[in-house]
Amino acid sequence: MRILLIRFSSIGDIVLTTPVLRCIAEQKGAEVFYLTKAAFADIPAAHPLVSRVFALGSPGKAPHFPEKIHFSNSLAELVGAVKSLKLDAVVDLHNNLRSHIFRRKIGVPAYGFNKLNWEKWLLVQFGINLLPPKHIVDRYLEAAAPLGVQPDARGLDFPIPPVITEAMPELLYNEFGLSPEQRFGTFVLGATHFTKRLPADKWIELSSKISLPIVMIGGPAEHATAEAIRASNPSKLMNACGKWNLFQSAAAVQRSEWVVTHDTGLMHIAAALVKPIFSIWGNTLPEFGMYPYFPKGMNRNTSFEVKGLSCRPCSKIGFDHCPKGHFKCMNQQSMDLIAGQLPK
């Protein structure tokens, strides 16, 4: 069998599809291909069970796995390249207009998942929760069930290239003076939307209650915020935002004692690496089904939410400002409560 998975974006959503590709490959002996956007192509390409990645767009930087990735700015060209594979089926885990067009042009049996947009709209607009108590990974797996695959209860995958894992101790030492045996925690500052992000003064307050050194991780957009936080205690706080690529950030998470994070892609990577996670939720809710996903019988996540706010959730995704202006979902988070839950 030859099966194509579709998930165009983003980091966390792609990581959440890894149980599907693993179950298809291992249980059916299928060759798995993946269609995504160019910016995220390295994530499925790193997985040893993915034969080839078809990436829409041009690589913004040199990919780690160029031999496994077919880049193209033309959806029509990608259709032609994929059709030449003579696929047996498509599993569409994005389920939008673009993926539907692609599925139709490929012309093989296709299976999609229910995004539950109506149920999410009811929860956001009226506070009516008709969402099933089910993680999105399990809904992804249901989409692949017609192929005869079953959940394997093994959690998520995020393979890190060995060269990056091996280099991380030296990088941590050269960048921050952390020796290989030194314990540290990780703050994940990034999130696409403002309403998912804890304000800088809250991070400063939290860090003041922690004795371990802390490595702050994020993209270039978080660098200035991390610098402001670091200024409160330069000997304890280390700013890696914008310095490291995704795999390097993941390798640092892998070496850390615990991760404090927003609802963002690195939260799901931390879950794939089976790290203790302390997740802080702003405008979004774990009930949307995107909380950290661990192997069956394991839960290493502790969620922190400001309960009882009539304005929450204000969106299923997020905004660039608080619609109400008060941002209570983050400003009222208790740093004493979070610090008290962290391993000493």
Domain final residue pick, 147, 179, 201: 147
β-pair partners for 175: none
Q: Where do we find the tokens 């660098």?
A: 223
257 inside domain: yes
Whether 50 and 181 share a structural domain:
no
Whether 173 and 251 share a structural domain:
yes
Instruction: Find the Cα–Cα–Cα–Cα dihedral 174, 180, 181, 184, rounded to 10°.
Output: 60
- Give the max Cα distance, the chain: 59
Which pLDDT band, with edges at 50, 70 and 90, does 61 fall under? confident
138 inside domain: yes
Domain final residue pick, 147, 175, 202: 147
∠ CA 109-110-116 to the nearest 5 degrees?
155
* Residue 331, Cβ density class (10 Å: 0-12 exposed, 13-18 middle, ≥19 buried): middle
Q: Give the pLDDT score at 151.
A: 96
Question: How many domains are there within the chain?
Answer: 2
- List the structure tokens of 172: 């941590």
Whether 187 and 291 share a structural domain:
yes
157 inside domain: no
- 289 in the Ramachandran plot: left (φ > 0), alpha (ψ -120 to 50) or beta? left
Whether 171 and 304 share a structural domain:
yes
- List the structure tokens of 337: 């409560």
103 inside domain: yes
48 inside domain: yes
Whether 175 and 312 share a structural domain:
yes
Pair 319, 194: CB distance under 8 Å: yes
Whether 180 and 141 share a structural domain:
no
- 29 in the Ramachandran plot: left (φ > 0), alpha (ψ -120 to 50) or beta? left
Domain final residue pick, 78, 112, 147: 147
Would you tell me how many other CB atoms lie within 10 Å of the CB of residue 136?
20
Pair 21, 49: CB distance under 8 Å: yes
pTM of the model: 0.96
Whether 336 and 229 share a structural domain:
yes
Provide the residue type at 145 as one letter.
A
Q: Give the pLDDT score at 344.
A: 80
Which pLDDT band, with edges at 50, 70 and 90, does 182 fall under? very high
Which pLDDT band, with edges at 50, 70 and 90, does 167 fall under? very high
Q: Give the range of the structural domain holding residue 75, as residue numbers without chain letter.
A: 2-147
Whether 234 and 279 share a structural domain:
yes
Mean pLDDT of 134-142: 97
Whether 167 and 113 share a structural domain:
no
220 inside domain: yes
Render pLDDT for 72-118 as a digit per residue (tens, 0 to 9). Answer: 999 999 999 999 999 999 999 999 999 999 999 999 999 999 999 99
3-state secondary structure 240-273: CCCCCCHHHHHHHHHHCCCEEEECCHHHHHHHHC
CATH at residue 30: 3.40.50.2000
CA distance 55 to 71: 5
Which pLDDT band, with edges at 50, 70 and 90, does 60 fall under? confident
Render pLDDT for 201-257 as a digit per residue (tens, 0 to 9). Answer: 999 999 999 999 999 999 999 999 999 999 999 999 999 999 999 999 999 999 999
Whether 69 and 196 share a structural domain:
no
173 inside domain: yes
- Count the residues in the chain: 344
∠ CA 249-254-284 to the nearest 5 degrees?
70
Nearest to 78 by CA among 58, 51, 50, 97: 58
Q: Give the pLDDT score at 149.
A: 96
Whether 173 and 124 share a structural domain:
no
Mean pLDDT of 280-290: 95
Q: Where do we find the tokens 């290989």?
A: 180
CA distance 38 to 60: 8
155 inside domain: no
Percentage of residues of the chain with pLDDT beyond 90:
97
Helix intervals (H) in the chain: 11-15, 18-28, 42-45, 75-83, 97-106, 117-126, 136-144, 162-176, 200-207, 223-230, 246-255, 265-272, 328-331, 335-341
Whether 111 and 180 share a structural domain:
no
